[in-house]
Amino acid sequence: MPLLKSNQNKYFDLKNLKLKNKKSKFLIKNGRYHRHREGNNNANNRHSSTSFEYNTNSYQSNNVHLNTSLENSPFVSVIIPARNEEKYIERCLLSLLSQDYPNFEIIALDDNSTDNTLTIMEDMKRNDMHWKMKGFPNDKLKITSLKYTPDKWTGKTWASEQGYLQSRGTILLFADADTNYISTDLIRQAVFYMQNENLDVLTGIPSDEKPNSFWSKIILPVWGFVNILFKVGSAEVNNSKSNIAYLMGSFLLIKRETFINIGTFESVSDAIQEDKALGVLIKKRGYNIKIVALKGMANTPSSEGVKTIWHLLGRTLAPLTMKNKFKVIFSLLVIFFVCSLSFVIFVFALLFIIGVKSSFVSISEITFHFYPYVPLLSLIPFMMALIGCSIKCKEYGITPLYSLASPFTSIFIIIACLYNIAPLLIVGKTKPIVWQGRQYSYSKEKDGFHI
Same-domain status, 232 and 93: yes
- Higher pLDDT: 151 or 353? It is 151
Q: What is the pLDDT of residues 156-192, one digit of tens each?
A: 889 999 999 999 999 999 999 999 999 999 999 999 9
Same-domain status, 283 and 324: no
- Higher pLDDT: 253 or 267? It is 253
**Amino acid residing at 383:** M
Residue 238 is predicted with a pLDDT of 81
Mean pLDDT calculated for residue range 85-100: 93
Same-domain status, 395 and 366: yes
Same-domain status, 73 and 113: yes
- Higher pLDDT: 325 or 433? It is 325
Structural domain harbouring 352:
320-450
What is the band of 334 on the pLDDT scale with cuts at 50, 70, 90? confident
Helices 406-426 and 214-226 pack at an angle, to 10 degrees, of 70
CB of 97 closer than 8 Å to CB of 136 = yes
> Does the pLDDT value for residue 54 go beyond 50?
no
- Higher pLDDT: 374 or 116? It is 116
* Residue where a domain stops, chosen among 269, 303, 337: 303
Same-domain status, 268 and 389: no
Q: What is the pLDDT of residues 182-228, one digit of tens each?
A: 999 999 999 999 999 999 999 999 988 999 899 999 999 998 888 87
* Residue where a domain stops, chosen among 249, 269, 303: 303
Mean pLDDT of the chain: 77
Strand partners, 433: 440
Residue 149 is predicted with a pLDDT of 85
CB of 47 closer than 8 Å to CB of 75 = no
Looking at 140-273, list the stretches that DSSP marks H as alpha helix, in order from N- to C-terminal side: 155-166, 186-196, 214-226, 234-238, 256-261
Within a domain: residue 298? yes
Three-state DSSP state, 218? helix
94/124 Cα distance (integer angstroms): 9
Same-domain status, 192 and 230: yes
Residue 117 is predicted with a pLDDT of 95
* DSSP designation for 183: B
Residue 21 is predicted with a pLDDT of 41
**How many independent structural domains does the chain possess?**
2
Same-domain status, 299 and 334: no
CATH of the domain at 181: 3.90.550.10
Same-domain status, 245 and 150: yes
% pLDDT > 70, the chain: 72
Strand partners, 201: 254, 289
Same-domain status, 277 and 367: no
Residue 449 is predicted with a pLDDT of 53
Same-domain status, 230 and 347: no
- Higher pLDDT: 208 or 56? It is 208
| From 53-62, 329-338, 362-371, the region with the lowest mean pLDDT | 53-62
> Does the pLDDT value for residue 48 go beyond 50?
no
Helices 325-335 and 406-426 pack at an angle, to 10 degrees, of 160
Three-state DSSP state, 309? helix
| CA nearest to 179, candidates 91, 294, 118, 111 | 91
